Chain A
Amino acid sequence: MSVVEKLSGIEAQSNIVSDVVVRFAGDSGDGMQLTGSNFTEATAIYGNDLATFPDFPAEIRAPAGATFGVSAFQIYFGSEDVTTAGDQVDVLVAMNPAALITNVKDLVVGGLIVVDRDAFTDKNLTRAGYKANPLEDGSLDAYKIISVDITKQVVEAVKPYGLTHKFAVRCKNMWTLGLVMWLFDRSRDSAIKGLTHKFAAKPEIADANIAALNAGHSYGETAELPVGVEVYKVPPAQVASGLYRNTTGSEALSYGLLAGGQLARLPITFASYPITPASSLLHTLAGQKEFDVVTFQAEDEIAAVCAAIGASFAGSLGITSSSGPGISLKAEAISLACATELPLIIVNTQRGGPSTGLPTKTEQSDLNQALFGRHADTTLPVIASCTPSDCFDVAIEAIRIATQFTTPVIILSDGYLANASEPWLVPDFEDYEPFPVTFPTDPEGFTPANRNPDTLARIWAKPGTPGLEHRIGGIEKSFETGDISYEPENHQKMTDVRKAKIDGIARFIPAQEVSQGRPGDKLVVLGWGSTFGAIHQGVKRCRAEGLSVAHVHVRYMWPLPANLGELLASFDSVLIPEMNTGQFVEVIRSRFLVDAQRLNKVSGQPFKISEIEKAIKAQLEAVK
């Protein structure tokens, strides 16, 4: 038997730990995402709080063993609140040398490595860039290692099912999952149920995978493992009582759009063109035909936004979705929706850019595009979600604003939020206040230029209504009648009223709250979007050390909450972390004339908690 390969000098203090970061890494074809999501499910059911971060390459199937083809899935779980996918890795599962060499640098000293020894062939070692086998040359002495001939074990375990060698080896990920499940005392029930369901049409494949899972688990139970490696206990977290599920941002956003449509009492036309990492919205909604939604895969990004605008003109809620490059293509049409003042939802799941950039990685660099990326004076509301589950409420809020103010609204999500998952205390839809849209039917006094005096929303009359026949279009229209007008004063007035309408939305959104700390603290960390988790933990840790730091997280990126300027003025110093080169910081500086400082990261990876902590301390030091 092949067990104890190396012993690190560091022994586990105790088998009860408060939180753990596990990363599964392998070839893009090794099934690491599936392994990770199965482990996540089991961990959620166990009762830990958790957050996950899938990190995969743009290549669907990169050449086996290549470092650029390594796909990873990280999960951070614990008995306290968890809001990021974790900084340093405690347990690294590396299915080959490429996965090891690209991930070992993130492993904490004394951390545990699980490897498939069979994959450490000369060919794979060379391809990964190793000159010598790291399992043998002492270079991993700082870590604990479980080195198993996983491939061989798997082939043996699934022998009764008569699979070809190729298919048998594919069960490797489930064997590994079984071992990690044992390591953290997780139940295999949900994974077994999932495999049975996934391979319902091929029961022999399901059985083989389940056998591999069980074999990995019993390996943990029976094998002699390195000293200090035993079952870890991570006690369940104290979380609010209620019914939970896991959700990714993409799922929550899809459901939020359906919910918003129901609250507005409007059918949805969702028109989109495939683009990473935004396509899953289209996929999810295409499978919800029992809802009042029609999905349309258009021929390109422009056709998608135009079909959505056409749908809104006809009295549905038009929604389009893309990522930065696709949003660029939609820009002209979004301005048409601004000019004609039609409701429209545009979802931008941001990715690393510019151009094709890093399609599968995350970034917040489309804020400027959302706020300013159109021709002429076309201001529109922009709102950003901060966690996967927050995407649900953000989608509803976007639809409320779009329909109440007859305007396009941009939702900013990002690759991290879309793919990351977290447990979600499932809301009760009955608790949401409906905001039904009523269409006019009375021809008396009707013009397409009529406005709600309070919100300045333009009247939304839909084709099919007798007596309300009218024309709209991109040419400037008379404020009084809606007919074409080239009058200089009228254009001034129309530009002013379009701007006043959007600015005025600030009166209809909640005041900005402080999520940690209080006004008057020395420093405020001002965040937006998916940096929430890292900022939350960073501020929490600093406050636990007695530092005077607060956290304010903005959802309404435009118009900004009415009290934000006053709130920011109450702090001595403002720090704005962003996954871009400093876009929101410029908005805040120019809008409020505050000397806000920046913290920027554009590596395609989310902020680490430690990076936020360090910046907080440096900033507090600087303003002393």
Chain B
Amino acid sequence: MNAPVQKLTLKDYASDQEVRWCPGCGDYAILKTIQKLMPEIDTPKENTVFISGIGCSSRFPYYMNTYGFHTIHGRAPSIATGVKLSNPALDVWVITGDGDGLSIGGNHMLHVLRRNVDLQILLFNNEIYGLTKGQYSPTSSVGTRSPSTPDGSLDLPLRPCTFAIGAGARFVARTIDTEAKHMTPILKRAHAHKGASFVEIYQNCPVYNDGIFDYIKDKKSASESRLLLEHGQPMLFGEGNAKGIRFNVSKICLEVVEPGKDGVTQADIVVHDETNKVLAQMLAELKTPDFPEPIGVLYCNPTSPYNVDVYAQREAVRAKKEPANLNKLLRGGHTWKVE
């Protein structure tokens, strides 16, 4: 008889290392949520790998009692690709930030997504460089004052979910650092998704960019500023779900409407379809104050992952070839004998 499988708990996934983020950092909440989530997913602990680049968020693997690799700036997607190609049985998570994943590592993020390597990529977006002491990042709003932009930043920011969908990601979601109840099912789905899954996590940096996401986190303003997405459900938000999102056909865009007013009915409200890429692209662009910001799964439309295809192709080729034989390989082609 098999011994009963010992149920693991959060503690089993916490390493013995002292956590060294600043007090109040959103990363603590994310760490806790993931440590709690781990025992609930069906991967043996020894098959779980966390890979990160450089930055505050990238210290994450040190605090997980799994396999982990804290690598170099921006390159976690590439290292993770190598891990997954080497051993597809491993369950690989990539932890990155807005600077690591979208600035220095933007090229790798683009390619890991289009290539559809079966990884969970969690991008902690705090719209600032924390570890290098507060410079503006590629997701910072125009006008962000920072040590490198004392008079305000000038360049336009990037929207991570827009980037991911544009790059060809087949799973794109957004959640919030301190909202474990929302994050847990999103991460479960990201984990269950076969292929590259991209999750943007709004994360507060209490030292260099404090309160940047208060508009969506505060109970008072949350209902107006967030659009909770659910597949098959109408896109309603606001106090008592009084507002909704409608597709304006003549302008080819989404707009905010109030059902019951100006002839708008419930039937006019867009029903969320996770498999609709055009819709997902439009949702990813929505931003306060003109729109509520979508939270949840924007896009999910799986296709065969690269790491699966690589091995399938190899098997197909092997089926038509003789088994590997090095001496035979060396003697392939033209040879001649000298007596």
Give the interface of A toward B (CB within 8 A). 41, 44-45, 47, 190, 239-246, 255, 258-259, 262, 267, 269, 271, 288-292, 294, 296, 298-300, 302-304, 306-316, 318, 332-333, 336, 340, 426-430, 462-475, 483-484
| A262-B338 contact given A472-B69, A483-B17, CB 8 Å threshold | no
Question: How many Å lie between the Cα of A271 and that of B65 in the bound state?
Answer: 29
Question: Which residue of the partner chain, among A245, A289, A304, contacts B314 with CB atoms under 8 Å?
Answer: A289
Question: Which residue of the partner chain, among B75, B86, B331, contacts A303 with CB atoms under 8 Å?
Answer: B75
Question: How many Å lie between the Cα of A13 and that of B201 in the bound state?
Answer: 84
Interface bin, chain B: 35 or more
Residues 40-70 of B at the A interface (beta carbon under 8 Å): 44-47, 49, 51, 54, 61-62, 64-70
B-chain residues with CB within 8 Å of residue A271 when the two chains form the complex: 82
Question: How many Å lie between the Cα of A372 and that of B71 in the bound state?
Answer: 22
Q: Is the CB of A269 within 8 A of B46?
A: no
Question: How many Å lie between the Cα of A455 and that of B56 in the bound state?
Answer: 36
Asked if B339 is at the interface of the complex by the 8 Å CB criterion, the answer is yes
A-chain residues with CB within 8 Å of residue B142 when the two chains form the complex: none
Q: Is the CB of A473 within 8 A of B61?
A: yes
Q: Is the CB of B321 within 8 A of A290?
A: yes
Q: Is the CB of A307 within 8 A of B338?
A: no
Q: Is the CB of A430 within 8 A of B324?
A: no
A-chain residues with CB within 8 Å of residue B75 when the two chains form the complex: 302-303, 306, 333
A-chain residues with CB within 8 Å of residue B326 when the two chains form the complex: 255, 258-259, 262, 291, 429
Q: How far is the CB of A596 from chain B (nearest CB, A)?
A: 38
Q: Is the CB of A466 within 8 A of B334?
A: no
Asked if B107 is at the interface of the complex by the 8 Å CB criterion, the answer is yes
Question: How many Å lie between the Cα of A292 and that of B334 in the bound state?
Answer: 25
| A464-B90 contact given A258-B329, A310-B78, A484-B62, CB 8 Å threshold | yes
A-B contact count (CB 8 A): 203
Q: Is the CB of A429 within 8 A of B330?
A: yes
Question: How many Å lie between the Cα of A321 and that of B44 in the bound state?
Answer: 34
Q: Is the CB of A306 within 8 A of B82?
A: yes
Q: Is the CB of B65 within 8 A of A469?
A: yes
Asked if B89 is at the interface of the complex by the 8 Å CB criterion, the answer is yes
Asked if B254 is at the interface of the complex by the 8 Å CB criterion, the answer is no
Q: Is the CB of B46 within 8 A of A466?
A: yes
7 nearest A-B pairs in the assembled complex, by CB-CB distance? A310-B82, A473-B70, A307-B82, A306-B78, A471-B68, A310-B79, A314-B86
Question: Which residue of the partner chain, among B46, B68, B87, contacts A472 with CB atoms under 8 Å?
Answer: B68
Tell me the nearest residue of chain A to B15, going by C-beta. Answer: A471
Cβ contacts A to B, 20 pairs, < 8 Å: A190-B334, A241-B337, A242-B338, A245-B331, A255-B330, A269-B86, A288-B329, A290-B322, A291-B326, A299-B111, A303-B77, A307-B81, A310-B86, A311-B82, A314-B86, A314-B90, A316-B87, A336-B72, A469-B66, A484-B17
| A473-B69 contact given A255-B326, A258-B326, CB 8 Å threshold | yes
Question: How many Å lie between the Cα of A484 and that of B17 in the bound state?
Answer: 9
Give the interface of B toward A (CB within 8 A). 15, 17, 44-47, 49, 51, 54, 61-62, 64-72, 75, 77-87, 89-90, 107-108, 110-111, 310-311, 313-314, 317-318, 321-324, 326-327, 329-331, 333-339
Interface centre among A47, A262, A269, A313 (most CB of B within 10 A): A313
Q: How far is the CB of A288 from chain B (nearest CB, A)?
A: 7
Question: How many Å lie between the Cα of A309 and that of B330 in the bound state?
Answer: 28
Q: Is the CB of A243 within 8 A of B72?
A: no
| A303-B46 contact given A243-B337, A426-B330, CB 8 Å threshold | no
Question: Which residue of the partner chain, among A244, A302, A333, contacts B338 with CB atoms under 8 Å?
Answer: A244
| A44-B336 contact given A463-B90, A475-B70, A483-B17, CB 8 Å threshold | yes
Q: Is the CB of A47 within 8 A of B338?
A: yes
Question: How many Å lie between the Cα of A462 and that of B90 in the bound state?
Answer: 11
Q: Is the CB of A296 within 8 A of B83?
A: no
Q: Is the CB of A471 within 8 A of B79?
A: no
A-chain residues with CB within 8 Å of residue B107 when the two chains form the complex: 299-300, 303
Interface centre among B66, B69, B107 (most CB of A within 10 A): B69
Q: Is the CB of A289 within 8 A of B318?
A: yes
Question: How many Å lie between the Cα of A474 and that of B107 in the bound state?
Answer: 21
| A473-B62 contact given A463-B46, A463-B47, CB 8 Å threshold | yes
Given contacts A289-B317, A463-B49, A469-B67, 6 further A-B contacts (CB under 8 A): A290-B324, A306-B78, A311-B82, A333-B75, A463-B87, A469-B46
